[in-house]
Structure 1
Amino acid sequence: MRPFRINFPQSDLDDLARRLDHTRWPDEIPGVGWDRGAPLDYVKELAGYWRTQFDWRAVEARLNEYPHHLTEIDGATVHFMHIRSAEAGAMPLILTHGWPGTVAEFLDIIGPLIDPVAHGGDPADAFHLVIPSIPGYGFSGPTGETGWDTGRVAGAWKELMRRLGYERYAVQGGDWGSPISLRLGLADPEHVAGVHINMCVTLPPPDPAAMAGLDDADLARLDFGLRFIQDGMGWQKIQSTRPQTLAYALTDSPVGQLAWIAEKYKEWTDSAKVPEDAVSRDHILTAVTIYWLTATAGSSAQFYYESSHGDAEFARTWGGPWPLTMPVAVASFPRDAVRPVRRFAELILPTLSQWTEFDRGGHFPALEQPELLVGDIRRFARSLKGVTR
């Protein structure tokens, strides 16, 4: 393991500015809004803000407030943040992002998790944090070989926690971080104390009788899922089948990368008219800039190919079942891209011990509703320690 500091050369930022200045803009059918993708006026405005106002050096400085490391695991470079709490009884916790996420999306919850007292909490709720970048993503960089799916990442996380000397730890994740966390529980049952996920895929069981007695809220969740499959999974189909072709556009055009990611902050968050209703534009541009500067649009898309190639494998990757032996917690946010049905979750998660349905928030709770997410993680961790309050 070796220390790592984020510090991109000024020439990379100058190149980004030059490309933004010389964007070749597409036309647009008037009046269609977000129905056919990110609107031209919105992307132009956001690109202008990226070019003239967004301060990447400030983001670098904030990220560099915490220790970063690189290590080699299973032939790949793995970047991770390792932040230890000052509290003696802190529980180790590994947090895993997804797509189009990065380690930066956890910045607002690091303080409350490692130092609850400073944020009005109880010192018994403290955590030591390990926050890695998935191989192929961000500061981990491209893997350079095939085979990096959710199971292989879970194996890498098991090895990472072993190298860090953690005998008992909890895991948390959303988006790809959800199946990675669940697979980590399967891979390391002797050391994983519990698994907390903020996205749970619950596919309807083959038996039609399982549908009997569902209430209106669950039926609405199923209806949303059907509409999402029909209209909202274009990005998944492309990244799961032709990631290399997509990579040329997103690696060459910063505005292409911007639109590809910003659209998801609109569709998957608790937003009304624009993504900034739920997540600040600086947070959105932080994610976009990390993908751009690390040139990992293509390698992150390759992860889709590896983990969900074909519909049957997609269902297995996301839908379980997950025969875990440790407790599992699910935090469900109402405007997420995935809206689970508890009855179905209980069929695939036999050790489900905590289920929380929130009244606000979406796919990026660490950015949208950090207090709610932190509170749910704390409550779950207390249960792992046998504490009730």
Structure 2
Amino acid sequence: MQIQPFQIAIDDHEIDDLRRRIRATRWAPATPSAAWQQGADATWLRELAEYWAERFDWRAAERGLNQQPQFLADVQGQRVHFVHRRGVGPAPYPLVITHGWPGSFFEFHALLQRLCDPAASGGDPADAFDVVVPSLPGFAFSQAPAQPGTSAWQVADLWASLMRGLGYERFGAQGGDLGAGVSIALAARHPQAVGGIHLNFLPSSYEPAIGAAQKPLTPAEENFLREKNEWAAQEGGYAHMHSTKPQTLAASLNDSPVGLAAWIGEKFRAWSDCEGDVERVFSKDDLLTNISLYWYTQCIGPAIQMYWENRLQPMRFAEGQRVAPPVGFAHFPKEINHPPRSWLERTFDVVQWADMPAGGHFAAMEKPGLLAEEIRQFFRPLRDLSRQQIV
């Protein structure tokens, strides 16, 4: 596998062009609705756009991103961008963490320090990880698939090859959003390589066997499925668009930075534990660093394409099908769905379940300390087990 170091270096003319486009925005007429009731609030969006054009320092953001050791690898003919940070401890455990939409590898900036060097934040060096954070195909600096068919299942195959190419024959996986699906697919398709997976989200397409031969649905499961359907009807328009007409949407979002900021920024507010004030949790600089990655790499179209592919290859499990590697789950209270433990246990061996005190969909950014401790706790017994299996 060919690997080369990588540093982000956006051309000056791209930065100038972005500012010009923002300043030339043709703003949508106001409607007689309350703030945020019908989507991104116009007042907040204008403030964010003004900051993006006049005060946001991309070069400072770029230097921050480049503090993480980044690489490009040729994996099965696919160019994959990834962060690979070595752990500081006696025996770091290899862990691949996968982001989702509307996030990026930037989501894990604060989490990486806590996982790779736990002693720096008062933890035990024995809990250190070697962490690999790939950018999903079509996201940021990872090449978009040239052919159709790249869903979470195929990404899992890429990640297994990447980890093997980096010298990790056995490793753990973690993820939320789309990354949760990739982590599940890794466990299902590569159980011999995956010691365990830790999730902070359950993909909406996950469906265990629930036929006549299975245990009847519990009241908690029935309530979960009802709430899931209600949420999809009220809040799931974005996902329906992504999974049915992604290129129609991409034509506008790839051309309008303010449109892109509205589409992404509204989700950071709606899905986080921010009590309605998105900047209570995320600074303008952090929001715009993530949004700018989408803008400068022109990846919004290829990124949302994965929703189309996942719709065609959902996470459905047959009667009697079990996923062997153990699972840990951190349930954050402001997450967009709230599955009961029994719903996962129909397919997985759930050995750790935690109801978190605060946080939402973007747990690695919102509560990196809480998430890091849950990940450490889950993988502690698996470290010893992996060493025994290697011996």
The alpha-carbon deviation at position 45 of structure 1 amounts to 1.0
Contact 2:180–2:201 (CA under 8 A) maintained in structure 1: yes
The alpha-carbon deviation at position 58 of structure 1 amounts to 1.3
Q: Which residue of 2 aligns with 1:179?
A: 181
Letter in 2 for 1:198: N
**Structure 1 residues 289 and 186: alpha-carbon distance in aligned structure 2, compared to 1, 3 A threshold:** same
Contact 1:182–1:322 (CA under 8 A) maintained in structure 2: no
Cα distance in 1 for residues equivalent to 2:192 and 2:310: 25
Cα distance in 1 for residues equivalent to 2:170 and 2:262: 41
**Structure 1 residues 10 and 187: alpha-carbon distance in aligned structure 2, compared to 1, 3 A threshold:** same
Cα distance in 2 for residues equivalent to 1:279 and 1:222: 30
2:271 is equivalent to residue 268 of structure 1: yes
Contact 1:96–1:172 (CA under 8 A) maintained in structure 2: yes
Q: Which residue of 1 aligns with 2:139?
A: 137
Q: Which runs of 4+ in 1 moved over 3 A?
A: 201-214, 218-224, 319-322
Cα distance in 1 for residues equivalent to 2:279 and 2:197: 30
Cα distance in 2 for residues equivalent to 1:233 and 1:315: 18
**Structure 1 residues 277 and 224: alpha-carbon distance in aligned structure 2, compared to 1, 3 A threshold:** farther
How many residue pairs are counted as aligned between the two chains? 379
Using the TM superposition, name which of 299-308 and 223-232 deviates more: 223-232
Cα distance in 2 for residues equivalent to 1:50 and 1:242: 29
Q: Which residue of 2 aligns with 1:364?
A: 362
The alpha-carbon deviation at position 185 of structure 1 amounts to 1.3
Letter in 2 for 1:7: A
Letter in 1 for 2:366: E
**Structure 1 residues 143 and 54: alpha-carbon distance in aligned structure 2, compared to 1, 3 A threshold:** same
Q: Which residue of 2 aligns with 1:326?
A: 325
- Equivalent residue for 2:230, pick from 227, 230, 238: 227
Contact 2:333–2:356 (CA under 8 A) maintained in structure 1: yes
Q: Which residue of 1 aligns with 2:65?
A: 63
Cα distance in 2 for residues equivalent to 1:53 and 1:110: 28
Q: Which residue of 1 aligns with 2:344?
A: 345
Cα distance in 1 for residues equivalent to 2:268 and 2:183: 23
The alpha-carbon deviation at position 142 of structure 1 amounts to 2.3
Q: Percent identity?
A: 39
Say which SS state the counterpart of residue 148 (structure 2) adopts: coil
Q: Write out aligned runs for 1:165-244 (5 A).
A: 165-201=167-203, 205=210, 210-214=216-220, 221-244=224-247
Contact 1:142–1:299 (CA under 8 A) maintained in structure 2: yes
- Which whole-Å deviations, capped at 9, do the CAs of 1:82-104 have from their partners, x for residues lacking one? 11123231101111000011000
Cα distance in 2 for residues equivalent to 1:364 and 1:43: 20
Q: Which residue of 1 aligns with 2:298?
A: 295
Cα distance in 2 for residues equivalent to 1:143 and 1:209: 40
Cα distance in 2 for residues equivalent to 1:10 and 1:163: 35
> Can you give the 5+ residue segments of structure 2 that lack an aligned partner in the other structure?
386-391
The alpha-carbon deviation at position 169 of structure 1 amounts to 0.9
Using the TM superposition, name which of 15-24 and 82-91 deviates more: 82-91
Cα distance in 2 for residues equivalent to 1:240 and 1:376: 32
The alpha-carbon deviation at position 283 of structure 1 amounts to 1.8
Letter in 2 for 1:149: S
Letter in 1 for 2:344: A
The alpha-carbon deviation at position 359 of structure 1 amounts to 2.2
Contact 1:90–1:124 (CA under 8 A) maintained in structure 2: yes
2:307 is equivalent to residue 304 of structure 1: yes
Q: Which residue of 2 aligns with 1:122?
A: 124
How does the TM-score come out when normalised to structure 2? 0.91
Using the TM superposition, name which of 292-301 and 200-209 deviates more: 200-209
Using the TM superposition, name which of 340-349 and 297-306 deviates more: 340-349
The alpha-carbon deviation at position 187 of structure 1 amounts to 2.2
> Can you give the 5+ residue segments of structure 1 that lack an aligned partner in the other structure?
none
Cα distance in 2 for residues equivalent to 1:366 and 1:11: 32
The alpha-carbon deviation at position 191 of structure 1 amounts to 1.7
Contact 2:99–2:175 (CA under 8 A) maintained in structure 1: yes
**Structure 1 residues 212 and 178: alpha-carbon distance in aligned structure 2, compared to 1, 3 A threshold:** closer
Q: Which residue of 2 aligns with 1:45?
A: 47
Q: Which residue of 1 aligns with 2:389?
A: none
